[in-house]
Structure 1
Amino acid sequence: MKPGIHPAYRPVVFRDKAGGLAFPTRSTLTGDGTVEWEDGTTYPVVDVEVSSASHPFHTGRSRATDTAGRVERFHRRYGERRG
């Protein structure tokens, strides 16, 4: 690789606040804060919104939508048109 043009690749902890999962890895991202990991070392932390701990596909939990209410509201608003 050409020296001087690539960002620094360093250890960092990714933390999913919704799912409670945190894992150390290496990345070019820099975090806003720091966290002390289980080994006693302090790493920059990058907070993420979704990971495998909180994504509905991986957890099996999905949000139910109120489709019956939507259909009734549509029929009230526009009526039933047949033809």
Structure 2
Amino acid sequence: MKPGIHPLYAPVAFRDRSTGTTFVTRSTATSDERVEIDGTSYPLVTVDITSDSHPFWTGRAHTLDSEGRLERFRRRYGDRR
């Protein structure tokens, strides 16, 4: 690797904006905000969605069918669950 052209890859804390959950992972993301976790200071990046708040991972996902296409499909081909 060429020296001096790659971004710094270091531990960063990410905080979920909706749940407040914070976790530490390695990333090239940076921030001026800092947070202290277990006595160590990390840059803090606030994100809108993580696996802690995403409907797919929390089990709150549902099927949107505003035009009745799912029901028409089930009538035509049967409900094969």
**Do they fold alike, i.e. is TM over 0.5?**
yes
- 2:7 is matched with 7
**Which portions of structure 1, spanning 4 or more consecutive aligned residues, are displaced by more than 2 angstroms?**
62-65
> Which string of whole-angstrom CA distances, capped at 9 and with x for unpartnered residues, describes residues 4-42 of structure 1?
1101111110110212221111111102411111x2111
Task: Supply the AA of the counterpart residue of 2:18.
Answer: A
- 1:56 is matched with 55
TM-aligned CA deviation for residue 63 of structure 1: 6.6
Once the two structures are aligned, what percentage of the paired residues are identical? 58
Rg comparison, structure with higher value: 1
Q: Under a length normalisation based on structure 1, what TM-score does the superposition of the two structures give?
A: 0.69
CA RMSD, 1 decimal: 2.1
Structure 1 unmatched runs, 5+: 71-83
Q: 1:4 to 1:36 in 2, by over 3 A?
A: same
